[in-house]
Each structure stands twice: as structure tokens, then as C-alpha cells.
Amino acid sequence: ESYDMGGHDTYMHKEIHEQAEAVDRALRGRIDDRFSTVHLGGLNLDARDARAVRRVKILGCGTSYHAGQIGAQMIEELARIPADAEPASEFRYRNPVVDPDTLYIAVSQSGETYDVLAAVQELKRKGARVLGLVNVVGSAIARETDGGIYVHAGPEVCVVSTKCFTNMVVSFGLLALHLGRTRDLSVADGKRIIEGLRKLPGQIEEILANEEQIEKLAGEYADAKSMMFIGRVRGYPVAREASLKLKEVSYIHAEAYPASELKHGPLALIEPAMPTVAIVPDDELLEKNRAALEEIKARSGRILAVAHQEQEKADHTIVVPKNEDELDAILMGIPLQLFAYYTAKAMGRDIDKPRNLAKSVTVE
């Protein structure tokens, strides 16, 4: 893509609309149908190395950290390797135990974020193996790491990350599949995940075709002073990222909570003036999520659900196409990027350059 805005009013809008093409680029030339696995040329991790990994620790900041949270869940689900994500900024200040059997992954759009780079350097000083999951080719983090995956989102100009987040999560899907196929993931499951990955560009187009409904909904909720975002397990990092998107561009206060934690405190905030955005995938937790919607409705809370089917308890539902359970998180946040964009637009915000923020934070 060029830096030309190509008929869009902002880079954010343009970049949201580039996602089908960007995901296609992340997948291109990487899938090996013969063995239901993937080729990730720059990874420098052969099957023996991959089998020796005992833990995966993912480090990033902001949106990239949220992508890492989804990535950790995919790695646990598909490769059955214990995995978690942590803000790189926290990690480097807490004298972490650096373990030779852990695979560390630094995730960054710019590849220049100081907190992430410093964490990588500290890990390398301690002899760890660190991979990069980076967008900008040849950036500092790409150079400092022992190998990695370029996410191929193309240039992202808007300070608020959208297409790069999606490509990061897709790249984590590829990595999880690769690690899984060197361990216990079957050929049949590998094939199922590959088919799911291939469906993504078309499904993204379907979501974006629903833009008018999302624009209208943004108008309905733009009067809120504060919003709650909830999700459970796979839906929770989606809720966190969607709440960050809304905060960054609209300056509306938003909180994200696991739906399961509502009754342990945040339910006290629910009232008509505090709408909730709920991530409700059609997976094994559907009934649990529906119960949370009932709890909110019983307190007269307004609910906007992002789901695979209309939700009776919600005031509004944005229906998104279903993929494989393990990949649903890739798609469910996309309508909420548009929701944040249209909310900010209705409020007359400076969408591509929100106040107080920089695209790449290269200082402490």
C-alpha cells in the first residue's frame, strides 16, 4: 500500500479496510498443504528446537501486548505449550527468571519500541532465545532477535493500530500451528486450522460490508461517558483491545473485564448510563456469556454484543462470521475498530493523531 489516503478520510479508516488484503499477504507462501503445516522461513527454529520448548513468554506493549495475549492462548490451545503474555515494560523491571527452555517472543509493529527493545537486550544478555514478531522490516527489534516472523501488514500510519494487530494475531496463529504440528496437533486438526486461516480474508470483507450498521450503533453509544467491555477466555483479550481502541481515538473512558469477574466487583458500575460491549462467541462458553448478559440486563445496563448469532438479551448485536473456535478472536475485534472510529468521528476527534500519543514510543 502507498501512503496515499486513497479516498478514505483518515488513515485509520483506510487501514481498517486494508485488512483482508493484509491477512492474505501474511498467509501467502507460508502454508504447506501436503503436511498441514506452515513454512516460516525466518524463524530459525527446526522441529527439534520446537519440541524442546517448555514455555512461551510473549512481550509487547499496548495493542501488541493484546495481540500477544491472543497469541499465547492460541499456542496453548494448538501446541499445548504453557504460554503467557506480559507487558514488556513490566517484565524488564522485575528481574525476571530467565529460563533456557522458554521461547521468548517480542511483538512490535514498529520494531522500535524502547521498552520492548530493552527487554530483548536484557534477555539476550542472559542467554535466552528471543524471536521477533514484527511489522517493520529491518527495524531494531527485528535485528536484535534470533529470528522471527514478519507480519506483513504493510505501512501503518494512523497512531492507533488496527491492521497490524490483526496481522499479528494471524501470525501467532501460524506460529501456533507450526509449534503444534511438531508436537501433538494432528494432521486433521492442522488441516482444519489451515482452512480456517484461509477463510479469514473473505470473512473480514463480510464484516466490513456491515459498516453502515456499525456507524449507526456508534451514533447511539457516543453519548456514553464510560463503557464496559467484557469477554471470557478467548473473548477477553478482544475486549481489552477494543476498549483500548475506543479510549485512544474517542477519549471515552472504557474498562475491560473478564465476564467471569463482573460479579466480583465491576457489576456495581452497571446502570443505564454505563453501556457494556460483550464479546459472545459461539463456543463452549456461550451459555456462561449469556448468563453474564442477563446479569447486566437485570441492572438495566445497555448491551451491545459482538456475536455469531443475535443475542436476545442484548439491545444490539453485531453478527460476525464464525471461524474455528481457536481463530474466532482474530475476527471479533474488527467491527469494534470501526465502532471506535465512528464514535471518534461523531465526536470530531483527531482520529489519526490522538492527543498525547505517538506512533512509536522510542523513549522510556
Residue ranges binding ligand AGP (CB under 6 A)? 61-64, 108-110, 113, 116, 159-161, 248, 357, 360-361
Closer residue to ligand AGP, CB minimum distance, 245 or 308 = 245
In the set 288, 297, 353, 359, the catalytic residue is: 359
Concerning whether 359 is annotated as a catalytic residue, the answer is: yes
Nearest-approach distance from CB 53 to ligand AGP, in angstroms: 23
Q: Which is nearer to ligand AGP, 108 or 250 (CB)?
A: 108
Pairwise CA distance, residues 271 & 249, whole Å: 24
Distance of closest approach, residue 268 Cβ to ligand AGP, in angstroms? 28
Q: Which is nearer to ligand AGP, 248 or 283 (CB)?
A: 248
Q: Give whichever of 110 and 250 is closer to ligand AGP, judged by the CB atom.
A: 110
Pick 226 or 362: Cβ nearer ligand AGP:
362
Q: Output the smallest distance, CB 253 to ligand AGP, in A.
A: 17
Instruction: Tell me the C-alpha distance between 263 and 198, whole Å.
Output: 38
Compute the half-sphere exposure of residue 291: CA atoms within 13 Å on the CB side of its CA: 10
| Closest residue to ligand AGP, based on beta-carbon distance | 62
Between CA 8 and CA 210 the distance in angstroms is: 17
- Ramachandran bin of 185, using left for φ above 0, alpha for ψ from -120 to 50, beta for the remaining angles: beta
| Closer residue to ligand AGP in complex, CB, 292/344 | 344
Rounded distance between C-alpha atoms, residue 139 and residue 19, angstroms: 22
How far apart are CB 138 and ligand AGP at their closest, in Å?
A: 14
Distance in Å, CB of 175 to ligand AGP, minimum: 17
Shortest reach from residue 285's CB to ligand AGP, in Å: 27
256, 211 in Cβ contact below 8 A? Answer: no
* Residue nearer to ligand AGP on the CB measure, 119 or 296: 119
Minimum distance of ligand AGP from residue 54's CB (angstroms)? 26
Query: Catalytic positions, please?
Result: 359
